[in-house]
Structure 1
Amino acid sequence: MPIQQPQTVEEVKKLCEEKGIEFIFASFSEIKGKSNAKLVPAEHVEDLFAEGAGAAGFAAGDIGQGPHSPDVVTLPDPKTFRVVPWKKNLGHVIGNAYVNGEPWPFCPRTILQRQVERAREMGFDFRLGFEAEFMLVNFDEDGNLQVADEHDNWARPCYDVKSLSRNYEFATRLSKYVTELGWENYAVDHEDGNGQFECNVTYADAVESADRAIFFRYMVDMLAREHGALATFMPKPFTDNTGNGMHFTMSLWDMENDINLFEAQDGEEDPRGFGLSDVAYHFIAGLLEHARGYAAFAAPTVNSYKRLKPGTETIRTWVPVARTWGGNNRTQMIRIARNGAIEDRTPDFSGSPYLAMAAALAAGLDGIERKLDPGPINEKNLYDFSPSQLRERGIKLLPGSLWEACHYLGKDDVLREAFGKVPKDGPEGEPSDATEDFIDYYIRVKNDEFHEVTDEVSPIEIERYLLFP
């Protein structure tokens, strides 16, 4: 049975006593998605929620701090408290970053909460479910990456019952734990890639979904290690294998009446035939309008763009290559698989789910405010066309690299405003009262990452260019 989710500090204290919790991980995330935590004895639970857990932000990752900066303090949200399913004496709680007693504007969770609050002021509750794909891998004796299950080598292994059976203990533990956490897991399957799996989790409020995603990634990693494998959410760990995505299924709900506003309401006709409302189509249009800048959050690593490539008969991808929308068509960005929700297939899980969800919401709300139209439905297999052929048909492409995505992000005034201002150090790292847009900070971090990865001379370059021409 799922454990009742606590809502207050008192309920957390009671749950710790009832379940024999001895320690608690107090967790926060930086902008690249890394989850950081301090291990706090349960007898200090009141102090944890009252005073938080301090950390050197610069050491924790990219969160707008230098070695001279004051501590980042994690103030936990009691609604995120969870008993760790595979270690029953351990609790896990997620919080927001504070500095000098004030909310830290670099905190990804704070940024998402701000966008969710903006939507609520407009009367919308943003709800989101995710499908996170991952692979079970290990290294051979020569240090080469390989699929953990040596028998998982079929050309088309998707839904293969034998592969799923060989990983039965892992898959069923994961399913049971997701259900135990109260997330209503409804399926685990072997996905299209060798060694690839997916666990479907039902939708929730966007902040709750992002919190779940952070814990899910941690849980999958821990369970895989217990089963003698490594779990990777890397978008494209193998050149000749399907990549790992994190599809977002999104909808907006009426705050007062709990009605799905993406569904065509009584008396509202949908001439396009998907049973969607004008609000839904405006939201889709906003996503398409801002897709190139949004990609810097949804596909936030150099490796992400090795996943976002057209599929072939021998190398399947099932990913979007263009800014299009339509029905149950997996070659495009926005897929309409059922009434009342839209699926964005762009995101992967190599970054911060908070930032990606915040960007998706900001883009969609802009579409609603400006009453944008998503344009014609796409029913084509977009993998059949070259980039130039797509352009000839008026179909706009997604960015081809992290560098390109960051370029477009820098030009996107809507996302720039949505992510707000952050403190900026003066010359030579001196503290100052100056500020800058969060977007500019993020772009610097990501461009540095781009150069760190792409400036490295690779073995294939040596092979191809050393003695040529």
Structure 2
Amino acid sequence: MNIELVKYLKLAGVKFVRITFCDNANVIRAKAIHTGILPDNLEYPTGVTVAQQGCPVMHDTVASQSGLSPVGEAWLTPDWSTLRILPYAPTHARVIADFSRDGQPWSLCPRNFLKRAIAAAQQMGIEVMAAFENEFSLLSSNNEQIVPTDDTVFASSLSIDLNREIIDAITDALIAQEIIVERYSNRQGG
């Protein structure tokens, strides 16, 4: 599989694979590895200091109360089943990683925490199902001001007409990454 994975990426023109992780401040971060050195780095391509999980959302300084130190490494272990070539950056791919230390899942990894919570729920006969709703604003530049793309009211069909091209492009990019898009409506003003 390792050779096939690297061949697939090279044939697709991918130069970098972004090893992505979610930190404890819910910031999605990434470190990129060049495909030229990927064959020798498939299991543990890169790491971060353990202190990374003690950084707050507003800056990259370890919170003193975290108990974490910049000494020590946590390795990012890719889940290769999550690999996707990025349609908006076709020379890059992304894979989601788990944190590990000493070859074992790290207790401070949000993804490992979620896996443990799901397993505990299953032992109690509970099936965990989740959904999410992303909200965003569409903005444009107008005489050096940034303004909403429209000033319509909630669920206006005019807003759907005015923003159709960008919404179609966003939807195509999500579907290309195997992210299911179910519904879309505007809120007030773009």
Same fold (TM over 0.5): yes
What SS is found at the alignment partner of 1:43?
A: coil
Instruction: After superposing the two structures, state which structure 1 stretch, 164-173 or 62-71, moved more.
Output: 62-71
What SS is found at the alignment partner of 2:121?
A: helix
Distance 2:16 2:147 in 1: 34
Distance 1:57 1:23 in 2: 24
Equivalent residue for 2:31? 38
The one of 172, 181, 187 aligned to 1:176: 172
Structure 2 counterpart of 1:153, which letter? D
Structure 2: gaps (5+ residues): 57-61
Instruction: Describe how 1:255-334 pairs up with structure 2 within 5 A.
Output: none
Among all aligned residue pairs of Structure 1 and Structure 2, give the percentage whose two residues are the same amino acid: 21
Q: Per-residue CA shift, 1:150-203, capped at 9, x if unaligned?
A: xx224xx22223323332222011111222222332333213x323xxxxxxxx
CA shift in 2, pair 1:188/1:15, >3 Å: farther
| Aligned: 1:153 with 2:151 | yes
The normalised TM-score by structure 1 is 0.35
Structure 2 counterpart of 1:55, which letter? V
Distance 1:110 1:30 in 2: 12
CA shift in 2, pair 1:129/1:189, >3 Å: same
CA shift in 2, pair 1:65/1:15, >3 Å: farther
Q: Per-residue CA shift, 1:32-81, capped at 9, x if unaligned?
A: 21011111001222333222311234357359564443122211111111
Higher helix share: 1
What SS is found at the alignment partner of 1:131?
A: coil
CA contact under 8 A between 1:9 and 1:78: conserved in structure 2? no
CA contact under 8 A between 1:175 and 1:188: conserved in structure 2? no
CA shift in 2, pair 1:76/1:159, >3 Å: same
Structure 1 counterpart of 2:148, which letter? A
- Number of residue equivalences: 181
Q: CA deviation at 1:125?
A: 4.0
| Aligned: 1:50 with 2:48 | no
Q: Which has the larger radius of gyration?
A: 1
Structure 2 counterpart of 1:69, which letter? V
CA shift in 2, pair 1:14/1:187, >3 Å: farther
Higher strand share: 2
CA shift in 2, pair 1:65/1:172, >3 Å: farther
Structure 1 counterpart of 2:31, which letter? K
Structure 1 counterpart of 2:94, which letter? H
Distance 1:68 1:180 in 2: 38
CA shift in 2, pair 1:65/1:35, >3 Å: farther
Equivalent residue for 1:79? 81
CA shift in 2, pair 1:117/1:48, >3 Å: farther
CA contact under 8 A between 1:147 and 1:194: conserved in structure 2? no
Distance 2:134 2:45 in 1: 30
What SS is found at the alignment partner of 1:182?
A: coil
The one of 157, 161, 165 aligned to 1:165: 161
Aligned Cα root-mean-square deviation (Å): 2.9
> Relative CO higher for 1 or 2, CA cutoff 8 Å, sep ≥ 6?
2
Q: CA deviation at 1:108?
A: 0.8
Q: Per-residue CA shift, 1:346-386, capped at 9, x if unaligned?
A: xxxxxxxxxxxxxxxxxxxxxxxxxxxxxxxxxxxxxxxxx
CA contact under 8 A between 1:21 and 1:42: conserved in structure 2? yes
Q: Per-residue CA shift, 1:260-316, capped at 9, x if unaligned?
A: xxxxxxxxxxxxxxxxxxxxxxxxxxxxxxxxxxxxxxxxxxxxxxxxxxxxxxxxx
| Aligned: 1:194 with 2:186 | no
Distance 1:123 1:162 in 2: 46
What SS is found at the alignment partner of 1:132?
A: coil
CA shift in 2, pair 1:68/1:130, >3 Å: closer
Structure 2 counterpart of 1:113, which letter? K
Instruction: Describe how 1:85-104 pairs up with structure 2 within 5 A.
Output: 85-104=87-106
Equivalent residue for 1:109? 111
CA contact under 8 A between 1:24 and 1:42: conserved in structure 2? yes
The normalised TM-score by structure 2 is 0.78
CA contact under 8 A between 2:44 and 2:77: conserved in structure 1? yes
| Aligned: 1:24 with 2:17 | yes
What SS is found at the alignment partner of 1:187?
A: coil
CA shift in 2, pair 1:12/1:131, >3 Å: farther
CA contact under 8 A between 2:148 and 2:189: conserved in structure 1? no
What SS is found at the alignment partner of 2:43?
A: helix
Distance 2:106 2:39 in 1: 22
CA shift in 2, pair 1:176/1:68, >3 Å: closer
